[in-house]
Amino acid sequence: MKGLAAKIEREHDIARVKEIAIDLDRANLRLIEEIARTKIENAKLRGEDTRTLELDLQFTKEKLAAREQALFGRSSEKRAHPDEAVPSPRKAKKTGHGPTPQPELPVETREIVLPEDERSCPSCGGPLEAMKGQFEDSDEIDVVERSFRVVVHRRQKYRCRCGECVKTAPAPEKVIPGGRYSLPFAVNVAIAKYEDHLPLARQAKQMAREGLRVSSQTLWDQLVGLEMHLESSYEALLTGIFSAPVIAADETRWPILGKKSGGKSWWAWSVATPDAVAYRILDARSTAAAKDLLGDYRGTVLCDGYAGYKALTQGARGDPRITLAHCWSHVRRKFVKAEPNYPEAAEMIDLIGDLYDVEREIREAPGADREALTRERRQAKSKPIVEQIEHWLVRQKALPRSSLGSAITYTAKLWSGLCRFLDDPRLPIDNNGLERAIRPLALGRKNHHGSRSIHGTRVAALFYSLIESAKIVGVEPRAYLLEATRRAIREPGAVTLPNDLI
């Protein structure tokens, strides 16, 4: 009991210290703001120009607000609206959304009858008779547990009486010649890891609970076997993307475990068109890596403001075959971040919203010649909005270090690339499609911590590319991998892309 009392007392002391620290921090924030205000008042009394001090005060308020948010606020990327401060009227509590339709599940009907000893009337004691065709139906979702089995393939042998010919029935298609595991088994391992982000060690534990004893190394061997058959399809996917006149590019961190990483971060680079996405995992985030990724590409690359892309097109070694276009969504995020401290940023956000309204109008408009329609609408409606945005940027005054100043500088540096969509109807207004396609890599990075080897990065890039490209065009990834691998086993080097199965 004494130990428990001492523990409670220590916890109370810690909580009290935290409260004191928070109170002191808030008091410091108030003092910093008050000092800034005092400087402005003194400058006014001396008759000095206070515009720079007022900008400094606004910047100080921004830093204080960021500090307050970091200490006491909730994390959110959503834009705050003034009307959100007013609590909405309490809505009636919903009792449920009803059963979700399950059209893809098989239906099994089971008839339930009364036990013999309950088939009597409680009033008169007479026997109860079944009402022909009368039932009370209800359904439930049940689970059929996954199971594994050993399939013995007995391949019949044949011979000729002449003794010169013996034939054996063909063996089933295997990922690894002479291997023990079936093609569907190997594909299920790949789907579990690269679509469901389940590490191989965790898969092995699940399989053990279901009766199959297998090591994570054996599961890895199945992935390597699939990679061997699918390599041609992956390379063809990359070739197809780099033959498009417009591609999107982005990158995200990808760790390699242990000493094999060379002590530095690796990066998953992504390139995409509207109907495909491919990844390459490289050992740097640099201009050299961007050049390695793009190779001899000729066309327009839609990207963010990362300097590695810009360096490809500038200077004596710049490649004139590559044109950069930039993403309006990245610009909008900068101003959304600035808006809480600089209300004037709302005007910029609304203007960018007007650009997106035009894009929505284009998507919803009927018409066969989409490029001509897009060009006409963007010139007639989007171009005047872009001109308004340019005038707004020129009029603003903000410290370069502030969030508003940073957003303005970012937009100005990318201005020519931001305007490029006005003259090229093939260009989307943002890079959001590729950012969505990069999320699976972020989930995989979180769940299985990247790759264990350089070879592992190549395997990961291949499977993520093929699986995500299949999802983009509406092909079920498991069915696609099965069919593509079967074709490659029957004809080594055969290329099967997700579009081929539509």
Residue 103, in any domain of the structure: no
In-domain check, residue 22: no
Query: Is 366 a domain residue?
Result: no
Whether residue 49 is contained in a domain is answered as no
Domain carrying residue 285 = 154-327+431-502
Number of Cβ within a 10 Å radius of residue 337: 19
Using the predicted structure, report yes or no on whether residue 17 has a pLDDT greater than 60: yes
Q: Is the pLDDT confidence value at 98 over 50?
A: yes
Q: Alpha helix (H) ranges present in 46-175? A: 51-72
| Residue 382 CA: distances (Å) to CA of 51, 333, 348, 392, 408 | 35, 19, 14, 15, 20
Share of the chain above pLDDT 90, in %: 55
Domain count, the chain: 1
CA 455 remoteness from chain centre: 23
- 398 falls in which pLDDT band (50, 70, 90)? confident
Flag whether 122 is in a domain: no
Residue 140 counted as domain residue: no
Q: Taking 90 as the threshold, does the pLDDT of residue 73 lie above it?
A: no
> Does 222 reside within a domain?
yes
Which pLDDT value is given to residue 397? Answer: 86
Position 470 confidence tier, pLDDT thresholds 50, 70, 90: very high
Instruction: Classify residue 339: in a domain, yes or no.
Output: no
Q: For position 87, what pLDDT does the model report?
A: 47
Q: Cα dist. 172→182, 202, 386, 420, 489 in Å? A: 8, 28, 62, 54, 11
Q: Strand 299-303 to strand 246-254: parallel, antiparallel, or no bridges (unpaired)?
A: parallel
Q: Kindly report the number of other CB atoms within 10 A of residue 161's CB atom.
A: 6
Q: Among 252-261, 322-331, 343-352, 416-425, name the one with the lowest average pLDDT.
A: 252-261
- In this prediction the pTM is 0.79
Residue 362 — very low, low, confident or very high, per pLDDT cuts 50/70/90? very high
Find tokens 């298609």 and name the residue: 173
Lowest-confidence region among 6-15, 146-155, 409-418: 6-15
